[in-house]
Amino acid sequence: MQLKKKFSLKQHNSFHIEAFADFFYEVTHPGLLDDFFLHNKSQLPVLILGGGNNMLFTKDFIGIVLKISFKGIEIISENNQNIYVKAAAGEDWDDFVSFCVQNNWGGLENLSLIPGQVGSSPIQNIGAYGAEVKNTLSEVTTYNTLTGKTEIISNAACMFGYRSSIFKTSLKNSHIITAVTFRLNKNPIINNTYDAVNKALQAQNILQPTIADIRRTICQIRESKLPDPNKTGNAGSFFKNPEISCSRYKQLKIKYTDLVGYELGNGNYKLAAGWLIEKSGWKGYREGDAGVHDKQALVLVNYGHATGSQILSLAEKIRKSVLEKFNIPLEFEVNIL
């Protein structure tokens, strides 16, 4: 590994925020982790960095950034119904989804065009259009930074929740994800229950969609309303969708008949944070180069030269505004550093 000093992280975070790391390592093979963790005696903080797609830098990082760039896809096993595919943590997520769809392996197509790397997908339990990564994940391969050993974490042991997992709680900073194994369907089951997807398919007169149709349609939907992080700095959804009680939902529904919410299995409702933000008057708002996207209020953007602190300041104003109007607290989905 080549050590780089005072390294710019602008090309390694999707907000394109100019921040510097004291030291930067790019790790291209899991075996090199031993060289770092077992032989490096530095007491400096370490930041594990994947694609940088769910991160907002508000200052320089005083420590060592470890960039995970492992590559490789392999078939572990298969039977008549399923195929188990293992992807290295550094593989691009959407490239991997595309690869699976091209091979007619079903299960990931609803998660198309989500930016990031494969290794980050279990951490957030990424989800979209009626699917979550926990639905297809079989196991996660990790490197224990304390023991130097490889460990296998089963789906059940990942303790998946809404945009959460054990990798954000008790295993945070102690386990580095090196690969993820998925259990995919060789006879795909189509998931077109999400209203926007179903309507888009009907508009195209696609009555019996394939997983390729699902992927293409979802890509079209996302491209029509979400900014391309390669062109406009953003991290996708900045806030989590809040969960409220059924009684609270009914009260709000009386006052706001167009309230967007989804009933959960526990009797509560999940509200669309983007709707709350838009109703609070923030959609399309801009402060210098920090702004709220004009097509999706859930997305905060860097129009060019915004700092992380400016993005965060805007996010705090939005959170305060929504709390005052609806008495509903919003949580950040993006990691703030």
Q: What is the pLDDT of residue 2?
A: 75
Q: What is the pLDDT of residue 39?
A: 67
Domain ranges of the chain: 4-68, 73-185, 195-223, 233-336
Residue whose pair of structure tokens reads 């009684």 in the numeric block: 247
- The CATH fold assigned to 73-185 is 3.30.465
Q: What is the pLDDT of residue 7?
A: 94
Q: What is the pLDDT of residue 114?
A: 92
Residue from 91, 139, 163, 215 carrying the catalytic annotation: 163
Residue from 120, 237, 280, 319 carrying the catalytic annotation: 237
204-239 pLDDT, tens digit each:
898 899 999 999 999 999 998 888 888 899 998 999
The DSSP code for 76 is E
Q: What is the pLDDT of residue 267?
A: 84
Positions of E strands within 14-72: 20-27, 46-49, 55-56, 61-68
Q: Going by CATH, does the domain composed of 233-336 fall within 3.30.450.20?
A: no
3-state secondary structure of 105: coil
CA proximity to 124, closest of 237, 5, 277, 269? 237
Q: Going by CATH, does the domain composed of 4-68 fall within 3.30.43.10?
A: yes
Known active-site residue 222: no
Question: Band of the pLDDT at 41, cuts 50, 70, 90?
Answer: low
Residue type, 276: L
- Give the pTM: 0.85
239-290 pLDDT, tens digit each:
999 999 999 999 999 999 998 888 887 889 989 999 999 999 999 999 999 9
